[in-house]
Amino acid sequence: MIWNTHAAHLADEATDDGSRWRPLVANTPRHVFVPRWWERQDGTWTLCAPRPDNEAWLHGAYRDRSLITRVGPLHADHAGPDDHPEGRPTSSATLPSLVVQMFQHGRLQDGQDLLEVGTGSGYGTALAAKRLGENRVTSLDVDPYLIDAARDRLGSLGLKPTLAAVDATGPIDGEYDRIMATVGVRPVPPSWLGALRTGGRLVATIAGTSLIIEAVKRFDGTAYGRIAWERAGFMPTRTGDDYAPLPDGLLEAAKTGEGEAVTEGQFPVLDVGEAWDVASMLELLAPGVQTGYSQDANGTRTAWMAHPDGSWARAVARGTAAPLVHQSGPQRLWDVLDGIRSYWLEHGELPVRGARVLITPDGRTRLARGDWRVTL
């Protein structure tokens, strides 16, 4: 099996000319780390596994995209062709360009010790071990199977970084110059600052958002930095096999319910999931919110939101007309969204990009830009 050509093409896509990461991507066999994955086809999760036409399979393995490796509790490695799991993705192999981007935000230097949170497939761990040396890299994941599989796959390439099946939101052993997470957190776990050496750099995303935190630990034990201008999104941390579901019947209510309050919205229906900064602001103000969107052949647009506290909202309109909005529950989610959009019109942009970040030793994460403030 000749994979080098595919890896070289991936390096062209995922890295810049002259980048120290370019030869590492070009010489790391991604298919070893992601032999099987899930693809969404017509609303159904379907297994993608090696086939007789290995060129097509290799092409999929070396595309610069994230590959879903676990849906709910079912690993693609353990699935058969007739399996079609239901639920949310719970693990993936991150697209290589984003892995490289996160490492670049970390500003890795020779001789530094790296803690990677979110081993996943182990592909990023391999790149880090080649860059810094295997003895400088520690990688954690909450899923014991992923750790075992990554250890075997790394070992097949002669790499033996330190791997451990650990809930990284709890205690962490060791001290590190860099902590880089490919899972979303809210807030930053206090143990991360405890494990980060003074002057060390933390790179992580806020769960449910596309916001990248870049922060450096100071002598007083706090970490100070900014939200990067670039975007990145990762699955949030979890402690069990799956994420907690929304309350029974809530999604159905959001999609079809009458609502306690029925009003006319200020702005056209929005696909929140495709409006990254708006979605990030919404998550900061209503953490845990889930959104959905559809448009029919007649141009009728429908957007819904649901929150674990039982709140939901739905807006329906044809084209860009003012929508009819149904809302119920403790929060008026569409009003929160309209407030975000009003802020944008008033100020010309949302404050999340470039916001200052202060992380205190107890894990409180404070964002600020101008007069805008939020504490996670």
Domain layout of the chain by residue ranges? 4-231, 250-347
Q: What is the pLDDT of residue 243?
A: 73
How would you class 366 by CB atoms within 10 Å of its CB: exposed for 0-12, middle for 13-18, buried for 19 or more? middle
d(CA 3, CA 28): 9
| Third-level CATH fold of 250-347 | Double Stranded RNA Binding Domain (3.30.160)
Q: What confidence category does residue 109 fall into, taking pLDDT thresholds of 50, 70 and 90? A: very high
If one compares 212 and 53, the residue with the highest pLDDT of the two is 212
In CATH terms, is domain 4-231 a member of 3.40.50.300? no
> How high does pLDDT run on average in the chain?
94
Query: Which stretch of DSSP H or E encloses residue 247?
Result: none
17-76: pLDDT as tens digits:
999 999 999 999 999 999 999 999 888 999 999 876 688 899 999 999 999 999 989 999
CB neighbour burial string for 90-126, b if at least 16 within 10 angstroms, e if fewer: bbbbbbbbbbbbbbbbbebeeebbbbbbbbbbbbbbb
Q: What is the pLDDT of residue 168?
A: 92
Q: What is the CA radius of gyration of the chain?
A: 22
User: Which amino acid is it at 262?
Assistant: V
Place of tokens 């495709």: 274
d(CA 241, CA 10): 32
Q: What is the pLDDT of residue 346?
A: 94
| Lowest mean pLDDT segment, chosen from 152-166, 185-199, 244-258, 262-276 | 244-258
Q: What is the pLDDT of residue 160?
A: 98
Helix ranges (H only) for the chain are: 4-14, 22-26, 30-33, 54-61, 96-106, 123-132, 144-156, 190-195, 250-256, 276-285, 333-347
274-315: pLDDT as tens digits:
999 999 999 999 999 999 999 999 999 999 999 999 999 999
Please provide residue 191's backbone torsions phi and psi, each rounded to the nearest 5 degrees. -65, -25
DSSP state of 267: S
d(CA 111, CA 156): 25
Look up the pTM and report it: 0.92
- Evaluate whether 366 touches 206 at the Cβ level (below 8 Å): no
